[in-house]
Each structure stands twice: as C-alpha cells, then as structure tokens.
Structure 1
Amino acid sequence: MGEVLALVDARLRTALGEPDARAAVTFLGADRIEVLRFIDGDVVRYATLGMSGQPMNDPKDLMADPVRGPRAELVLSVRTGPADTDKVLRPLAVLASSPQVEGVIVAPGASLDLGEPLWPGAPFSSVLVAEPGGLVADLELDELMDPVRFLPLLPMTPNEAAWKRVHGAQALQERWLTHGTDLRDPLRGSVTLD
C-alpha cells in the first residue's frame, strides 16, 4: 500500500505542483486519508491521497481481492474567493473512505452524497464523479494491478442531484455545458432544469 501511495503522491506533484497544505483524517475501520491542497492562480485543487492504497471491491464478492480491482483518488477544483472551501478537507476524506467503510465502487457517473454542505454555506451536498484523464493522467501500476484513476468531482446542488437521478449523469453534464455553467464557482446556483 505504501509503495502505491508514494507513486500516487509523486504523480499528483508532477501534475499539480507542490501542495501548499495537507491534512490527514482517519476513520474507524479505514486507512488514513490525506487531502492535499494545490493553488493554481485563482483555482484551488484538493486531491485525496490514500483511497488508492487498496483496490475497490464489489461488496457482493465473498473474498475481496487484495491486488486486483479499480483504484482511484478524488480531485475537486474550485475558484478561490468568498467561500471557505478549505473546510472541504474532512468531507473529501469521508468520500474517499467510502469504498472501505461502505463497500462502494466509486466510478465515473456516480453520485456521492454527504447529506451536508461540502463546506460552510455551500449550495452543494453531493458531487458527480466525472471522467478521469484530463487534469491528472492515470497512473499505471504493476501488471496485476489496475491503474490509479484520478476522478474529478463536480459539485451538485440538491436539485441537480435529483434531476441527475432521473435523467442520468450525461444529461446533467450536457445541461451544464449548454448553459455555460461555471462548475468551479463555489457559490453558483443550480443550472436551469426545465
């Protein structure tokens, strides 16, 4: 696990630069999750480190494979400014620990719901997991292991999350694109959902 996380840490630094802050959270029954903060102009990026230490396994499998299975880390990008987005560190760690704690497989198109704002005053309590590969390239591991994928998180308002459950992730992303939604705006309202 430690070797994988060292490689992931190096990949994040190569893609995003040196983190200017990091915090660690440990939940009962789960491995330690770190959240690294990277500043890039007027955008702050938060990336988890620890989720990929073990592969995600289907909870229906009787025996969890300690080597094979999808591996991922989460990346959230928001604009700096009026919102106290640094309070997202613990919620991100909660989301990153969900494969170990709840036995879920986090993959593109999935919704992850916290049941509370991502940070104080945030209009979002859930995120849409987007396709990887844009910001941080997949990290290939030894041949028996799946690559580590760096999954972008797109904050969703409660109305957007409900609409996504009915119409699907692709339809919501198309609506955001059509309306020119700034998904990095930490205070944005819900996109038009008619």
Structure 2
Amino acid sequence: MPVVTDLVRARLTATFPGPQAAASVTFLGTTALTVIRFGPDASGLVRYATVGVSEAPMHPPTASVVDPVLGPRAELVLSLRPGRDEVLRTLAVLAATPQVEGLVLTAGATIDLGQPLWPGARLSAVLLGEEAGLVPDLELPDPMEPVRFHPVLPMTADEAALARARGAAHLRQLWLDAGTDLRDPDRVSVLTR
C-alpha cells in the first residue's frame, strides 16, 4: 500500500512547480504535520499546503467505531499575495483539528481561531472551500476514499459570524458580488464596504 503522504506531496509538487520550502510541526498527542510553501509564482502568489492530515481518515468524536482505512481524507491549501510565512503555524493548527478536536474537514466548515491568522492580521477565521478546484482530488487504492484538497479562505470575525448564521453560500455570494480578493492578506471585511 502506498504511503499517502508521499502521494500527497507528489500531487502538490506537480500542481505548484517552482520554489518551495517546508516546516514540520508536532502538537502533543498528534502525528507530525508538514506545511509546504510554494512560490511566489510570477504573479507574486504564494501557496501554503498541508501534508499529513490525510495520513488517516477523519472521524467525528461521536463515532462509535474509528476505522483506520475508511473515512474522508483531506489536506488544506491557502493562497496569499504576497505570502505571510507566519501563517505556517496557524495552518498546522487547522490541520491538527481532526486529530485534536475530531473535526472532519469538509467544504463549508467554518473554523474560528479567535486570534489573528498571523501577527497584525484582521483575519481570524477560515472557511473551507470546495475541493477539486485548485488541486484535483487524489484517488487512493480501494477501499480508501480520495484525498480532497480544500482551499482555506481567510475571514474576519464578523464574516465568520455571518457564515455561521446565514450559511457559507451566502458569504461566498457577498464576496463574489463585492469582487473580494480572498488572496489579499490585508483585505477588510466585506461587511464594512
């Protein structure tokens, strides 16, 4: 059976060619997680991607049986222009939530960290976007589910509150209507426009 993290790393490297650097983080009681920085590319865009979340399938804390093979698998991808390398630890914290809190990372999930995503950021929460957009799903041998790569969309606290109250689709529509650049690390809330 292939090592899932090796396949994930190969998929990411094929998707984001160019300069890269990596940092590994281990939290008490979790396996090591790696965050790879790709870029900047010609447009100044930097991608941060996790490797390690998908090593095991995710299960909610209420699951009566934790299957070591069956269950959803995911990794996270954050795009910023310009990059903010201080976000590496924050992304690792988000990636550890399945192991630490039993959170299943799926499209539409809102995670509020209650603190800036990096020093000085107005953004303190994230919305997980639809998979298979930026990085195609990684098919694994049966019976394992594919690894899904979720875009990490940074949000302000009031945007996170709106997403919880009205739904992620409502917030995404507001962003679309306002032409919000979610890759801008210095952007303001769509609700203050």
Q: What TM-score do the two structures reach when normalised by structure 2?
A: 0.95
Q: How far has the Cα of 1:86 moved from its partner?
A: 0.3
Aligned to 1:113: 112
Partner of 2:77: 75
Moved more, 97-106 or 10-19: 10-19
For 2:60, give the aligned amino acid. Answer: D
Using the alignment, how far apart are the partners of 2:142 and 2:192 within structure 1?
44
Matched-pair contact (CA < 8 Å) for 1:163–1:193: no
Secondary structure, counterpart of 2:66 in structure 1: coil
Secondary structure, counterpart of 1:27 in structure 2: coil
The alignment's C-alpha RMSD in Å is 1.5
SS in 2 for 1:172: helix
How far 1:192 sits from its partner (Å)?
Answer: 2.9
- How far is the alpha carbon of 1:193 from its aligned partner? 6.4
C-alpha distance in 1 between matches for 2:27 and 2:2: 18
Counterparts of residues 161-172 of structure 1 (less than 5 Å): 161-172=160-171
The answer (yes or no) to whether the contact 2:159–2:191 under 8 Å persists in 1 is no
Where do 1:9-158 residues align within 5 Å? 9-39=9-39, 40-41=41-42, 42-80=44-82, 85-158=84-157
1:162 Cα deviation from its structure 2 partner? 1.0
**What does the per-residue CA deviation read over 1:20-77, in whole Å, with 9 as the maximum and x for residues that have no partner?**
2100000111110000001122100000000000000121112200000000000000
Distance 1:128 1:75 in 2: 12
- SS for the counterpart of 2:190 is coil
Which runs of 4 or more aligned residues in structure 1 lie more than 6 Å from their structure 2 counterparts after TM superposition?
A: none
SS at match of 2:135: coil
CA contact (8 A) 1:2 1:53 kept: no
> 1:149-193 deviations in whole A, cap 9, x for unaligned?
000010000111111111100000000000100111100000036
- Does the aligned pair in 2 maintain the 1:59–1:103 contact within 8 Å? yes
Report the Cα distance in structure 2 between the residues aligned to 1:173 and 1:157, rounded to whole angstroms: 13
Indicate conservation of the 8 Å contact 1:114/1:125, yes or no.
yes
The residue aligned with 2:177 is 178
Aligned residues: 191
Q: More displaced, 1-10 or 56-65?
A: 1-10
**Conserved 8 A contact 1:36-1:46:** yes
Identity percentage of aligned residues: 57
Aligned amino acid, residue 31 of structure 1:
T
Q: TM-score, normalised by structure 1?
A: 0.94
The answer to whether the Cα contact below 8 Å between 2:69 and 2:143 also exists between their aligned partners in 1 is: yes
Distance across 2 between alignment mates of 1:106 and 1:134: 16
1 CA distance for matches of 2:155 and 2:63? Answer: 31
